[in-house]
Amino acid sequence: MFEAIESKFLVPYDGNFSLDNISARPPSSFDPKTDYRKKINKVIEELQDLQKILYAYDRHSMLLIFQAMDAAGKDSTIRAVMSGVNPAGCQVFSFKKPSSIELDHDFLWRTNKSLPERGRIGIFNRSYYEEVLVVRVHPKILEYQNLPDKVNPECIWQERYESIQDLEKHLARNGTVILKFWLNVSKEEQKNRFIGRIDTQEKQWKWSSSDLKEREHWDDYMQAYEDALNATSKPWAPWYAIPADDKPYMRYSVAKIVEKTLESLDLKYPKIDDAERKSLSQARKQLLAE
Ligand code: ATP
Ligand code: MG
């Protein structure tokens, strides 16, 4: 028996996650003959039904956070996973460099405004995790953040992990089901995809020279990811490190984890009581009598 996807890619909660032990390539259980594009369609159908019950049940919301290096496939994964879900029941927010208004608030403010309501699935394409990733790789950004005290480089990242842990714990206690996906693309595959963008006319618009600049900091990013995932993978807000070099397998894995998590919530359509049942049958009679 192969280990289930949701435990295979789970970042352990004990702080022992190491990039040395994981791969951007699919695991040995990956079957090259399996059509993962086809397989995902079944999962997407399930997600559609589960989301309907999530909405009717109205007790939980779901927050999916996506973080990755450029060209890992965040956009296409989000598109694929949510393709069957009723648009009224889900929302996607992308977080780029903060605006001056956003910088006038604490670093969790802008994402807090975009959290999903009960019954809905909310997706963050990048998130407050940028504050311990890109900002850590480029600590100069801190100078523009209008922070009150002189930043202590020894403590700042630890303090931010704590703020994130506190927020996520609070959200989870109040019904938000949080899943976090790091789409782990290899440096080699990123290079191939960048070259593909440059060489393909319809993809050239996606190319940005800043992507090449960030690539120069690859090792620093990897260290920042390893530390952030170790500090913040918790039972109430787990991280999954998803191999991203094979896109269909990556999308399938993410969809499957979302499906399994929704299933585990034991969602139910609200029960109708006797008085409501009576009122329904009266309404039925009235309609038939028209
Ligand atoms: P795509 O390239 O597919 O359009 P993207 O998410 O890479 O998607 P970009 O506009 O290319 O979008 O990049 C957004 C940039 O904003 C990233 O480099 C990211 O690190 C940066 N960013 C996001 N949040 C913050 C933040 N809080 N502080 C500083 N930079 C941030
Ligand atoms: Mg980009």
Quick check: 29 and 242 in contact, CB under 8 A? no
Q: Domain ranges for the chain, please list them.
A: 2-288
Which atom of ligand 1 lies at the shortest distance from residue 138's CA?
Answer: 29
- According to the model, what pLDDT value does residue 55 have? 96
Ligand 1 neighbours, Cβ below 6 Å, are 70, 75, 94-98, 126, 130-131, 134-135, 141, 208
Q: State in Å: Cα 97 to ligand 1 middle.
A: 6
Q: State in Å: Cα 96 to ligand 1 middle.
A: 4
- According to the model, what pLDDT value does residue 2 have? 55
CATH number of the domain located at residue range(s) 2-288 in this protein: 3.40.50.300
pLDDT block averages, 10 residues each, the chain of length 290: 80 96 89 86 95 96 98 96 91 97 97 97 98 97 89 90 98 98 98 96 90 97 98 98 96 96 94 94 96
Measure the CA–CA gap between 45 and 27, rounded to whole angstroms.
25
Closest CA to 249 of 22, 30, 10, 19: 30
- According to the model, what pLDDT value does residue 62 have? 98
- According to the model, what pLDDT value does residue 1 have? 44
- According to the model, what pLDDT value does residue 152 have? 85
Measure the CA–CA gap between 63 and 174, rounded to whole angstroms.
12
Residue 29: alpha-carbon gap to chain centroid: 24
For a mutational test of ligand 1's pocket, the pick from 66, 77, 97, i.e. the residue with the most ligand atoms closer than 8 A to its C-beta, is 97
